[in-house]
Structure formats: structure tokens, C-alpha cells
Structure 1
Amino acid sequence: MAGVFVAILNQTLLATALPHIMDDLEITANTAQWLTTVFMLVNGVMIPVTAFLIGKFSTRSLFLTAMGLFTIGTIVAAFAPGFSILMIGRIIQASGAGIMMPLTQTIFFVIFPIEKRGQAMGLFGLVISFAPAIGPTLSGWIVGQYPWRALFYIVIPIALIDLIFAYFFLKNVTKQTFPKLDILSVMLSTFGFGGILYGFSSAGTTGWGSLPVLVSIAIGAVSLFLFIQRQGRLKEPLLEFRVFKYKIFTLSTILSVIVFISMIGSATILPIYMQDMHGFTALESGLMLLPGAIIMGIMNPITGRVFDAFGGKWLAIIGLSIVTVSTFQFTVLTAETSFTYLTVMHAIRMFGVAMVMMPVTTAGLNQLPERLIPHGTAMSNTMRQVSGSIGTALLVTIMTSTALDPEQFGVQGLIRGVNISFIVAGILSLIGVFLSFFLKKAAPAAEGE
């Protein structure tokens, strides 16, 4: 869990430190942005491969390798003399981090019986919700007091301690099936998911009409289509798309995508609104998000227990209803909206997200036969990565394209775009409420069902 925490923390830790890195290494903003983009891309490329890796290697060897890569990458980044070495460090970090999250979920589903998986995934949800939320706030405070390299220095001892504990206490729990590696599938997966992630993550800043975005999305879409077709023909697919034959898993994945787009939208749009249109600092916008993250972290283990007792249906219905109502409260923002209003509404929103995120994921994975759980966790995390990228690009594009000319309408013209982007997020959440009524409590299905 500690390994997953620092791995996810690293995804957002550099967010507010980029200006300091730019000054120190004398690089442009576009170049510096690659430090966060490449982490996301490598993460997204590694996650679909984890189902194969879990079947090929033992739990201990795979986790120690992943954590070792992450630790080595952190050390390289901390002592990097220039941008190129720092970039290599981030790539090595991400290659380890991409394996850890699906692997940890799979371990939880193997060691916990079905009636206690809600609690286990609740603890997992505490980590994956809290870590990215405190990243920008923690980063803003650290770089205000110390050099940016301190962001990596503080991670190194945590990663080393986790490695030591894993070496002495982690046991082999996952089953080794020794699948054969299909090189073409790996290439198609890399170009497919990598192209889609890069294209959509770049679209929000460079525009949908830019050549790199169009080419990247086109290559990604074609590669992904060929990848899915190939997986259907292989006896031992790299990523098993047959998991979508299980209806509750499919429904839970759709609901997870909806709530993740809604969550990532607020984490992206609100800081832009606060800093560019409302005069708040990066640290203040991070502090606004923090109470919501704390509430979500506290609620995840609680909703996990509720899920074990009653299932996920009413948690999802009530949670998505709260998300929908609170999302529409962000459609009336002005240049005078108070910090308190933003903080309270965001906290209520995250309360709703906590009722949905881990319970629906657990409900879907619970229906899968044990053999397919590694593929289910890999697919679930892949969909989360892709939906986060697409959702961010979609909401940022709506925000910029529906904003009015600030010279004519002032700052409220820009805020109009923010309000409309939240209307779209609210409608999406409302669709999620309707779909939640079809969620059922399902036991693991037999292989042929």
C-alpha cells in the first residue's frame, strides 16, 4: 500500500513545481510539461501489460521489480544534472508505478474472501484518492521552502523502506499461468493506448485541429482496433477483453468511467478557474481541493464496509445523486464566488464520489472468475487512465470553446466556459444515476457463464 501511495503521489507531485524546474534547468514550459506527460503515458502503456506479468512472474518477484524500478527512477530523478536524465528518471519511475496498482488490487482480491473485499478495496481507495489530491498542495509547500529536488528526496526513503518490508514479509499469492508473450500485441497496445492518451491529453492545450493531436489519436485508434481484434483470436491474450461479457463488470466499468471523468474534471477545471479567473494562488487552489480529498479518504473504508453488508446498488445511486446535485452547484460560479463555497461544494462532491468509486469497481470484479481477475484489474485501471485523459480534454475543450471574449464580457465571459463544462459533467453524472439502478450484487461466475 505504501508503494502504491508514493507511486500515485508522484503523478501529481510535480504539478506546482514545474516553474521552479524550468528556472533551474533553463527549459521552456512545453518541455517541462513532458515530465508529467511522459509519466502518464508510460503508466498507461504498462497497465494493460500487467495481466500478462502477473501470470508470468511470482507476486514477490513482480512487486520487488516494480518497486525497485520506481526507487531507481526516483534516485535518478533526484540527482539528475539536466532535463534529459530527469526525463529518463521519470520514465523508469512510471514503468514501476504502472505495474503496482493493478498488482495490488489483484493481491487484495486473492487474499480477501468475497464478503470482505469491500473493506479491502475501501483501504485501497483511501490511498488512490488521497495521494493525488495532496500532491499539488504538498508540492506547493515544499518548493516554497526547499529546492525542487526535495520532492524526490522525500520519496526515496519511503520507497526503500517499502522494498525492505516487501522483501521480508511479502508472500507469493497470485497464480502463475506462464502465458506466452505476443510481441505484436505489446506493440499494438503501446501504440494504441499511448496514442490515445497522448492525443487527448495534448488536445486540451494545443487544440483538436493540431497535426500531432490528430495523428496521435488516429494511430492510437487504429492500433487499438487491431489490438482488440487480435486479443479475440489469441488463445492466451495479453489483455482479456472477454471480461466485458460479464454484465455487472461492464456496467461497473461504465459507472467508474463516469465518476472518474466527473472527479478529474473538478481537479482540472477548478484550479484553472481559481488561478486564472479568480486570482487565487496555486497553493490556495490546492488547499481548496484538500478537504474533499480527506473526506474521500475517510469515507472509502466506511463505504467498503457498507458494500460488504448491502452491496453496491444503493451506494452508487445515492453517491451519484450527490455528485450530480453538487456538480450543478458549480454551474453558477462568478468572479465573486467565495473560497468557502468552492471548498464545501467540492467536499460534498467528493463524499458522493467515495460512495461510488471503489464499491462499483469491487462489484464488477467480484463477478469475474478468479482466472480473469488480473485481466479485470488491468482493464479497470486502463479504462480509468483513458477516461481521465479523454474527460480532461473534453471538459477543457468545452470550457475554452464556450467562453466569451474577455475584452467584451470581462472575466465572467471566461467563467461562462467553466459553468458550461460543469453542466456537461452534471448531465454525465445524471446518466450514471439512471444506470446505477441496474447494478446487482453478483457472485463470481463460472468460467463459461
Structure 2
Amino acid sequence: MLQTALTTALPDIIKEFHVTANAGQWLTSGFSLAMGIMIPATAFLIKRLPTKVLFITSMLLFGGGSLLAAIAPIFPILLAGRIIQSLGTGILLSLTQVVILTIYPPEKQGGVMGIYGLAASAAPIIAPTITGLLIDYMSWRIIFWTGLVVAVADILLALVVVKNVLPTEKLRFDWPSFLLISAAFTGTTLGFGNLGTAPFMSLGIVGPLLVAVVTGAAFVYRGLHIDKPLLDLHVFKDQVFRTAVILSVLMYAVLMAVSTIFPIYVQTVHHLSATMSGLIMMPGALIMAVMSPITGRLYDRFGIRPLAIVGVLLVLVSTVGTSFLSVGTSVLYLTVTWAMRSAGLSFLMMPIVTWSVTQLSGGAIASASAVLTTLRTVAGAVGASVGVALMSFVANRGVTGHTVVATAGGVNAAFIMMAGIVTVMAVIVFLKVRSTKPTVQVVEEGTK
């Protein structure tokens, strides 16, 4: 929930710390970036450390980051707390997913991943609603105090109920690969994040992107030529996995961009409170929570194709529907379109993750899970950065003296871009997504 909890609170935080929208959105995109960098390391940690130790470590990081953010007197400390939080979240997401896909047989994975989707997929959608209800009556800091309480409760429960269910082995950590992928992800996010504040061909944009290309290429080359890579890229040999990765990357870019921009639009253009912003999102959040386990069972019964088609069409219609917003757009219309988007995402998020590993087995599942979660998380950070940058760029060139109208124009430009991305997703779904049955083993980790 803490991945997107600050999207509704961003206007208040921006105002309190006197920072720009581009700086404020780093509380979301920076969280996603740090989480994305941590996930490849988690692929190693899962194999090296006992399940129980790793789970408690993730909660200690999350709790420590929550405490630091809750007491932050200045914006950089708040951002540091968010990044420490994200390290714990990165470990937890990968660990939980690998445990589920390891201990359950393929015919039950869809239903169980649907339940897991309540945390991994529905919670980020629900979070802005809960945040909106809280911050109008309390400070935004209550979000982090709540996170600290949850972390402490998780640690106490884990001491009793968490068991070591994954095998461990002595491995050496691949530091060169970790540094290369960290530089690649950071350069990508920084480069795209500077789009709203720097000229297109400036050093602030071209420099980080060039670093990202060079280090990313070096990481791929190294990963394909050493025996024990940080992430096993051979899983990309499987066409199902490749398609799932592309869809997940595009989907998370749209999800995080929309989740960041929508509350800004509601509170800045309509001058509605954070509570109203949360209430507008509430029906969608409830739909997401209810549908997540249901779509898991539907996946087990019907496969991925019908779910993906329904999901992508709902997301496309809702995204196009929010590409022409104005000062006079009704609250009811906003509520319905947001609910439609949430329903569509529930048909896509966890079913695609489950489908991605249907042709994999053994150690390949852990690597595939880490690769998929890493790329979609970083895509979320880039999506939020690009969305806010485009919104700011268009708004700053809007009608002088009409800030509200200019902001609405910027929001529409961002949503039009998102609609284009979802259109690409729809084409991929219709052409490439087919319901498949699990096989014994098609891709095994380390095959060449």
C-alpha cells in the first residue's frame, strides 16, 4: 500500500516542503526505482538466506524507513525514508511471489496468486483512497506511523508462523552486475524524470539515458556470459514470458502515471479535498479488492486470453475517457472511469504474472519472477516521471494567468499518452496472448 499511498498526499507534501511537482513525484518514482534495484539482489538473497530471516529483514527495513519518514523535518529525509522503505518492499514482493509459485502446483497457482494480488495489485490501488480519508483529518505523517505499526506486527507474527520453505546454497554475490543494473535503472529514471525541467537534448536528459544504455548493454552481455548471473536472462527464450514482460512493463508505466496524476487533477483543477479525491477512487478500490481473487479462479478455469482481452479493453476505454477532462468534468464521471480502470487492471495484473511462468519450472521461476517484478517496478517509476513531466511541460505552456485550465491541459496530454500505450497493449493481447497449459519444463535456469 505504501507504494502509492503518497499520491493523494502529494499536493499537501509539496505545499508543506515548498517543492515542485516534479520533485514531489520522486516520493513515488524514487520508491519504485529503489525497489526495482533491490529486486535483482533479492533473487540472490532468496537462494542464500533462509526464508524466515529474509522476511524479517525486509520488515526491519520497511519499519525503519517508515519511522524516518514519519519524523522527517525536511524533504530529503522524507525521500530517504521512502527509499529505505522500498528496499524492504522489494525483498518482500519477490520473496512472497517465489514462495507461492514454489509450494503450490500449477493448477492452483491462479487462485492463490489472485489472493496474493490483494497485496501486490489491489493494495496499491486502494492506498490513495485510504490516504485521502486520513490526511484531511490528520497529518500525512500518519501514513508512515501506520506503516511502522504494521511492520512491528509483521515481525512479531513472523517469529511464530513463518517457516523456511525455500532451499539455500552458498553463492557469491555478483557485485559488478548489481552496480551495472543499478546505474542502468537510475539513469533511465533520471533521464525521463528530467523531461519536464530540462530541454529535450540537454545533458540532464541525454547524459543519464546514455549511461543507462551503456550500463544496461554491459549488464546483458555479462549476464549471458557468466555461470551464475545476478538475473538469469535465459528465461527470455520463452515467448510467453517475453510477452508477459512487455505487457507488465507497459501496464505498470500507465498504472503509476495515472495514480500519480489523477489526485493532482482532482485537488488542483477541481479544488476538492484529499478526502473527496479518495472517495472518487473508492469504488474502483473496492472493485479491485473483490475482483483480484475472483480473476485468479477465472484464470485457472479459462486461461489468460479472455481475461487479458476484457482487462485491456476496460483499461483502454477508461483511459481514453479521461483524456478530455476539463474544469467542469463531473465527479460521477471521474468515479465511473476510475472504477472501470480498476476493474480492467484486476483482469490483467496477477493473471499475467501467473501466466508468465506457465512454461518455466525449478530455479527458472525465481529468476523469471525477479526479472518480471524488477522491470515492471522500474517501468512504474519511469511512467510516473514521464507522466508528471509531460503534464508540467504542457501546463507551463498553457494560457498565462489561467493555472487551472493549463493544468487540465497538462493532465489531458499525459492521459492521451497513456491511452497510446494501452492501445499498444491491446494490439499485443489480441495478437500474442494465448491460453497455455503448464508444461513440465521448457526453460530451466542456466540453459544456453
TM-score range, shorter chain: 0.7 to 0.9
- 1:439 is matched with 433
Q: Which moved more, 1:350-359 or 1:330-339?
A: 330-339
Structure 1 CA distance for aligned equivalents of residues 12 and 295 of structure 2 = 39
Instruction: Specify the alignment match of 2:85 in structure 1.
Output: 93
2:438 is paired with a residue whose SS is coil
* 2:427 match: secondary structure: helix
- For the residue of structure 2 that corresponds to 1:332, the secondary structure is coil
Matched, 1:244 2:239: no
5 Å matches for 1:178-217? 178-204=170-196, 208-209=200-201, 211-217=203-209
1:386 equivalent in structure 2: 378
Q: Which residue of 2 aligns with 1:6?
A: none
2:422 equivalent in structure 1: 429
5 Å matches for 1:65-76? 65-76=57-68
Identity of aligned residues (%): 38
Q: Give me the CA root mean square deviation.
A: 2.9
Larger CA deviation: 57-66 vs 241-250: 57-66
Partner of 1:123: 115
Residue number among 269, 273, 291 corresponding to 1:281 in the alignment: 273
Distance 1:155 1:414 in 2: 32
CA offsets 1:195-214 (integer angstroms, 9 cap, x no match):
22233234345564554343
> Unaligned 5+ residue runs, structure 1?
1-8
Count the aligned residue pairs.
440
Q: Is the 8 A contact 1:192 1:223 kept in 2?
A: yes
Instruction: Using the TM superposition, name which of 319-328 and 111-120 deviates more.
Output: 319-328
Give the secondary structure class of the aligned counterpart of 1:322: helix
**Shift of residue 22 of structure 1?**
7.2
Q: 1:92 to 1:267 in 2, by over 3 A?
A: closer
TM-score normalized by the length of structure 2: 0.88
What is aligned with 1:4?
none
* 3-state DSSP of counterpart to 2:3: helix
Q: Which runs of 5+ in 2 are unaligned?
A: none
Partner of 2:252: 260
Measured after TM superposition, the shift of residue 118 of structure 1 is 0.8
1:236-270 deviations in whole A, cap 9, x for unaligned? 00011111111101111112223223333322333
The separation in 2 between residues aligned to 1:117 and 1:111, in whole angstroms, is 9
Change over 3 Å in CA distance of 1:142–1:366 after alignment to 2: same
1:111 and 1:202, CA in 2 relative to 1: closer, same or farther beyond 3 A? farther
Greater shift, 131-140 or 408-417, is seen at 408-417
Distance 1:32 1:201, change over 3 A: closer
Q: Specify whether residues 27 and 229 from structure 1 end up closer, same or farther in structure 2 by C-alpha distance, changes over 3 A only.
A: same
Q: For residues 77 and 257 of structure 1, do their structure 2 counterparts lie closer, same or farther at Cα, with a shift above 3 Å needed?
A: closer
Corresponding residue for 2:157? 165
Q: CA deviation at 1:416?
A: 4.3
Distance 1:16 1:349 in 2: 17
1:362 to 327, 342, 354: 354
Preserved contact between residue 36 and residue 375 of structure 2 (Cα < 8 Å):
no
Q: Deviations over 1:403-433 (max 9, x none)?
A: 6632499855654444344333333323322
Residues 423, 93 of structure 1: alpha-carbon distance in 2 compared, 3 angstrom cutoff: closer
Pair 286,214 (structure 1): closer, same or farther in 2 beyond 3 Å: farther
Answer with 132-141 or 397-406: which moved more: 397-406
Contact 1:39 1:90 in 2 (8 A): yes
SS of the equivalent of 2:168 reads coil
Displacement, 1:80? 5.3
In structure 2, distance between residues paired with 1:339 and 1:358: 29
What TM-score, normalized to structure 1? 0.87
